């Protein structure tokens, strides 16, 4: 089982039946793994904020969902996370690439690396960073915990965890 | 036709549909017309009522879901049409209340006022069934067919701008209470479990 198989398996264990996704180099393999699973409906979107609002709608249908996006996209949708999810106390579980880390030397990712976490803290969106494969097993707990928090939750996946080579 | 007249006609034809309202005029007028608890009234995320409705529709595929969008909200996220077309949800109807102004902010003019064909945009995005309706007689006569047809179906409802508009008040409860009212209404109506045994 590779890392994406394991993350997918834990999402299944958490009861996820719907994913809303927009590609980023680091999470594309996870998106493809989720798409291979016929028990999870993958909704491809054109803008990351759609993932947040699709997952919020799914919540009221009694369906557990996940948004899988890149760090840049996360920055673009913090307003919708606030005015929909904080306003109405709706939990949304987000899996996000931890772009802009010290081992990510893409010039267009550096701002995300410096400012994403302070921004999440300003909004009081809880987050966790998974860097060690041994922590993947905590996903079902994190899922239950984010429902209790009643707000968006971000699970960052690092370059090391994902074994990204060239991106 | 006026927005409040449109809402009354939609309410008569609604059947079992669950409603998602874009924030502002659409939400306030639907509340005024129906006092409906099994409707979600967006308080924020302008532009994304359609995305919320899509997520709901995909989660309850046997239940009709209508989104009452507005032209201002659609203009803020026209990409929702492509996402909707990509999923082809059979239970989703997308209505846009189009008055060509931002009604709740002093009727300021819409971007490219009267210059955009929203139904044409929906068709170009891949939603095959579309309609533009600009009078109550047509709305009454065409709605039964629209309601009966499998989705997705996009309907532009061209209403009058109302410069002397007196704002109808919004639903008298705010975000978290709306969450629980709507969630409990979904549980009761559809038999789904929105909340766990400890209430979250």
Chain segment B129-148, per-residue pLDDT in tens: 999 999 999 999 999 999 99
In a domain, B95, yes or no: yes
Q: Is the pLDDT of residue B121 over 80?
A: yes
For range A115-123, the mean pLDDT: 96
Nearest to A70 by CA among A109, A118, A122, A107: A109
For range A18-32, the mean pLDDT: 97
Domain count, chain B: 1
Name the average pLDDT for chain A. 96
Question: Following DSSP, what letter does each residue of B62-94 receive, concatenated?
Answer: TS-EEEEEEHHHHHH-TTHHHHHHHH--TTEEE
Other beta carbons less than 10 A from residue A86's beta carbon: 18
Q: Is the pLDDT of residue B164 over 90?
A: no
**Interface residue B122 vs chain A (CB under 8 A):** no
Say which CATH number the domain at B160 has: 3.40.50.970
Instruction: Report yes or no: B99 and B162 within 8 Å, Cβ to Cβ.
Output: yes
In a domain, B165, yes or no: yes
**Beta strand B153-158 pairing with B129-133:** parallel
In a domain, B199, yes or no: no
Return the pLDDT at A81: 97
Please state, for a pLDDT cut of 90, what percent of chain A lies above it: 98
Name, in order, each residue with C-beta under 8 angstroms of A132's C-beta and a sequence gap of 6 or more: A161
B53 vs A57, A63, A87: nearest CB? A57
A44 vs B55, B86, B200: nearest CB? B86
Instruction: Report yes or no: A53 and A80 within 8 Å, Cβ to Cβ.
Output: yes
Going along chain A, which residue ranges are E strands?
16-21, 41-44, 64-69, 92-97, 127-130, 152-157
Q: Is the pLDDT of residue A93 over 70?
A: yes
Nearest to A66 by CA among A117, A28, A31: A31
For range A147-159, the mean pLDDT: 98
Bridge partners of residue A18, in order along the sequence: A41, A65
Q: Number of Cβ pairs closer than 8 Å across A and B?
A: 126
Residue to mutate among B40, B43, B45, B195, with most A CBs inside 10 A, is: B45
Other beta carbons less than 10 A from residue B100's beta carbon: 20
For range A121-144, the mean pLDDT: 97
Q: Is the pLDDT of residue B167 over 80?
A: no
Name, in order, each residue with C-beta under 8 angstroms of B70's C-beta and a sequence gap of 6 or more: B22, B24, B25, B26, B96, B97, B98, B99, B103
Give the alpha-carbon dihedral of A102, A108, A109, A110, to 10 degrees: 50
Q: CB A84 to CB B20 under 8 A? A: no
Give chain B's length.
Answer: 200
Q: CB A58 to CB B20 under 8 A? A: no
**Interface residue A45 vs chain B (CB under 8 A):** yes
Distance from CA of A90 to the nearest CA of B (A): 7
Q: Is the pLDDT of residue A167 over 90?
A: no
pLDDT in tens, B62-118: 999 999 999 999 999 999 999 999 999 999 999 999 999 998 888 899 999 999 999
For range A154-164, the mean pLDDT: 97
Give B-chain residues touching A57 at CB under 8 angstroms.
Answer: 20, 51-57, 59
Give A-chain residues touching B196 at CB under 8 angstroms.
Answer: 147
Residue to mutate among A51, A84, A93, A144, with most B CBs inside 10 A, is: A84
In a domain, B86, yes or no: yes
Instruction: Report yes or no: A59 and A65 within 8 Å, Cβ to Cβ.
Output: yes
In a domain, B197, yes or no: no
Residue to mutate among A19, A47, A53, with most B CBs inside 10 A, is: A53
B45 vs A47, A58, A83: nearest CB? A83
Return the pLDDT at B92: 98
Name the average pLDDT for chain B. 95
Instruction: Pick the range with the lowest mean pLDDT from A82-96, B46-60, B102-116.
Output: B102-116
In a domain, B200, yes or no: no
Going along chain B, which residue ranges are E strands?
18-21, 39-41, 65-70, 92-98, 101-102, 108-109, 129-133, 153-158
B83 vs A17, A50, A147: nearest CB? A50
pLDDT in tens, A37-77: 999 999 999 999 999 999 999 999 999 999 999 999 999 99
Instruction: Pick the range with the lowest mean pLDDT from A153-157, A162-166, B110-114.
Output: A162-166
pLDDT in tens, B8-24: 999 999 999 999 999 98
B58 vs A41, A50, A79: nearest CB? A41
Peptide bond before residue B152 is cis, with ω within 30 degrees of 0:
yes
Does the predicted interface ipTM exceed a cut of 0.95?
yes
**Interface residue B55 vs chain A (CB under 8 A):** yes
Q: Is the pLDDT of residue B166 over 70?
A: no
Nearest to A7 by CA among A164, A151, A167, A161: A161
Q: Does domain A3-162 have CATH number 3.40.50.970?
A: yes
> In which domain, by residue range, is B112 found?
3-190
| Reported pTM | 0.97
pLDDT band at A31 (very low <50, low <70, confident <90, very high): very high
Other beta carbons less than 10 A from residue B158's beta carbon: 19
Give B-chain residues touching A18 at CB under 8 angstroms.
Answer: 55, 58-59
Return the pLDDT at B101: 92
């Amino acid at each position: 089982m590779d890392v994406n198989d394991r993350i997918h398996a834990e999402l299944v264990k958490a009861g996820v039946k719907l994913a809303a996704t927009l590609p980023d180099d680091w999470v594309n393999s996870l998106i493809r793994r989720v798409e291979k699973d016929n028990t999870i409906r993958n909704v491809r979107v054109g803008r990351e904020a759609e993932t947040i609002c699709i997952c919020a709608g799914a919540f009221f249908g009694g369906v557990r969902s996940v948004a899988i996006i890149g760090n840049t996209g996360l920055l673009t949708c913090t307003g919708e996370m606030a005015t929909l999810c904080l306003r109405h106390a709706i939990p949304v579980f987000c899996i996000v690439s931890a772009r802009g880390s010290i081992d990510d030397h893409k010039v267009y990712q550096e701002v995300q690396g410096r400012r994403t976490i302070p921004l999440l803290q300003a909004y009081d969106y809880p987050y966790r960073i998974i860097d060690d494969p041994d922590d993947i097993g905590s996903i079902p707990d994190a899922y239950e915990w984010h429902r209790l928090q009643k707000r968006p939750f971000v699970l960052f996946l690092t370059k090391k965890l994902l074994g990204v080579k060239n991106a | 036709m006026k927005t409040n007249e449109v809402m009354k006609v939609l309410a008569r034809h609604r059947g079992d549909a669950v409603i998602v309202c874009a924030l502002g005029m659409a939400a306030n007028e639907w509340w005024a017309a129906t006092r409906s608890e099994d409707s979600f009234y967006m308080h924020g995320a302008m532009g994304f009522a359609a995305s919320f409705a899509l997520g709901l529709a995909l989660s309850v595929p046997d239940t009709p879901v209508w989104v009452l969008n507005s032209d201002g909200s659609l203009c803020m996220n026209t990409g929702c049409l492509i996402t909707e077309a990509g999923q082809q949800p059979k239970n989703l109807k997308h209505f846009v209340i189009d008055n060509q102004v931002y009604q709740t902010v002093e009727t300021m003019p819409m971007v490219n006022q009267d210059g955009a064909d929203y139904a044409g945009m929906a068709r170009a995005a891949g939603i095959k069934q579309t309609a533009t309706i600009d009078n109550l007689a047509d709305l009454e006569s065409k709605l039964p067919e629209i309601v009966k047809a499998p989705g997705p179906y996009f309907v532009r409802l061209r209403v009058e701008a109302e410069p002397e508009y007196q704002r109808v008040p919004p639903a008298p409860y705010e975000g978290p209470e709306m969450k629980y009212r709507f969630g409990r209404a979904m549980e009761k109506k559809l038999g789904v479990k929105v909340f766990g045994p400890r209430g979250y």
